[in-house]
Amino acid sequence: MKLIKYFSILLLFGVGLAQADQVFYTTEQFLQRAFPQGSPSSNVVWLTDQHKQRGKELLGHAPAGLRLRYWAQEGRSAWVVDEIGKEHPITIGVVIEQNQIQMVEILVFRESRGGEVRYDFFKKQFVGAQLNEEDRLNKNIDGISGATLSVNAVTAVARWVLYLHGQVAA
Amino acid sequence: MTARSKLRRVWVGHLWRWHRRLGLLASCLVLLIALTGFLLNHADEWGWDKQHLHSSWLLKSYGVEVPTEFVGQKLFDRWWVLANEQLFLQNEEVARCGDAWKGVVATQHMVIAACEHKIALFTAEGELIEVMNSMPSSGLRGIGLLSETLLLIQYEGKAFQFDLMSFSVAPVDSKPTTLQTLPPAPKALAKIISSQYSVPGLTWERFVQDLHAGRWFGGWGWVLVDLTALFLVMLSLTGVLLYSLHRRKA
């Protein structure tokens, strides 16, 4: 019985370790990179039924929340979105200008696997990507074996944010 | 009958007996491994990777004691209950956090709940409005309202004010007296919440995985899996021996 308890505690400790947040950037640090001249104050976009329907198509599920915060200045917008890879939300920052992705950054990674999406070789693939008529990115994004769900989450957020940028910029 | 063929018959008899015994022993374990392996293969499709364990007995087997009392706050005539990492509106889970929820307050128009990692804004009906997940420090003690649009975020020895409109955070003088003390939730409600209590990471997929690997049976569970492998090897060897002896005889 003692062994079982000891093992259970070890197991839960393991679960806890697996869930430890890996914070790479705070929102403020991300905004400093997005707007080196000084970050603007935030705006919100209220998610209408139409937005939610499009969100469902682009993300694969209805977006959480009634509104989403973004920062915009001279046609450039920055977004911070949480998206679940497998079990835990990945906090993803995306910067868009002229309907093209300028930067994708992983702010916080909480999953136990798939953390390779934080590396530059993966994130740089998104630079210059736009939404095409079929709501897909017009650039091919190479997957990472063992990180499929995290790759899907980042790709889905990129598509969703490109759509939202189009909505707020219009 | 020659002495050699007698010896051979004895050998074959022994082999058959052990082959049968090993088969019987291995069958239970092989069934368990095969069945759990089959279930694991379909865990994604059936959503088991996202469904949490709620059974107090199963949670206890992982060393988790399900609480029977919870604290909360009655806001807009309904109870918002903090159940460790789960946040309930009456008996319905409305949000989760990777850490324990520390406080819940309401303005005239919305409910605000906070945990170590985030501040979540809800409508009175429990619909999520927005989440702020860039907390200014660590070791959250609680939250309180400074005004209709300003939230106090209290840490040990320091405090911040959080603007609910602009989502900006600024340090303020510590005002621990503003912090709320949460009353216990009604017992009937706590009982329902107990039955829905879960722990992050402990999903049905995890449980089946632990059964599959023998981990769930405790510290020596891995021996079961090793024994299964050993039985299967011996079963194959005795089977091959019996086959070859039978062929030679024929």
The 3-class SS string of chain B reads CCHHHHHHHHHHHHHHHHHHHHHHHHHHHHHHHHHHHHHHHCHHHHCCCCCECCCHHHHHHCCCCCCCCCEEEEECCEEEEEECCEEEECCEEEEECCCCEEEEEECCCCEEEEECCCEEEECCCCCEEEEECCCCCCCEEEEEECCCCEEEEEECCEEEEEECCCCCEEEECCCHHHCCCCCECCHHHHHHHHHCCCCCCCEHHHHHHHHHHCHHHCCCHHHHHHHHHHHHHHHHHHHHHHHHHHHHHC
| Residue of chain A with shortest Cα separation from B215 | A7
| Helix/strand number for chain A, H first, E second | 5, 6
Going from the C-alpha of B210 to that of each of A75, A100, B26, B225, the distances in angstroms are: 52, 45, 19, 11
Nearest CA to CA, how far is B219 from chain A (Å)?
A: 5
**Minimal Cα–Cα distance from B193 to chain A, Å?**
22
Contact A84, A90 (CB under 8 A): yes
pLDDT of residue B47: 83
Q: What is the pLDDT of residue B103?
A: 93
What local confidence, expressed as pLDDT, does residue B32 receive? 87
pLDDT class for B110, splitting at 50, 70, 90? very high
The predicted structure's pLDDT at residue B174:
60
pLDDT tens for each residue of B188-227: 999 999 988 988 778 899 999 998 888 888 777 778 788 8
Report how far residue A76's alpha carbon sits from residue A111's, in angstroms, rounded to the nearest whole number: 30
Chain A interface includes B133 (CB < 8 A) = yes
B176: confidence class by pLDDT, cuts 50, 70, 90: low
Cβ of A28 within 8 Å of Cβ of B123? The answer is: no
Strand partners, B203: B52
pLDDT band at B65 (very low <50, low <70, confident <90, very high): confident
**Which chain B residues have a beta carbon less than 8 Å from that of A91?**
133
Please determine, for residue A6, whether its predicted confidence score (pLDDT) is greater than 60.
Answer: no
Query: Rounded to an integer, what distance in angstroms lies between the CA atom of residue B203 and that of residue A19?
Result: 14
Contacts of A42 in chain B (CB under 8 A): 166-168
- Do residue A3 and residue B131 have CB atoms under 8 angstroms apart? no
Pick from A74, A96, A64: which is nearest to A161 by CA?
A: A96
CA B185 to chain centre: 24
Q: Which ipTM did the prediction report?
A: 0.78
Q: Please say if the pLDDT value at position B23 is more than 90.
A: no
Record: contact B201-A87, CB cut-off 8 A: yes
Shortest CA gap A82–chain B (Å): 9
> Is residue B64 very low, low, confident or very high in pLDDT (cuts 50, 70, 90)?
confident
Closest residue by Cα to residue B115 from B127, B133, B129? B133
Does residue B144 surpass a pLDDT of 50?
yes
* Residue A92 pLDDT greater than 80, yes or no: yes
pLDDT of residue B249: 64
Q: Which of B123, B199, B219 sits opposite A3 (nearest CB)?
A: B219
How far apart are the C-alpha atoms of B180 and B106, rounded to whole Å? 11
pLDDT of residue B137: 87
Mean pLDDT of chain A: 87
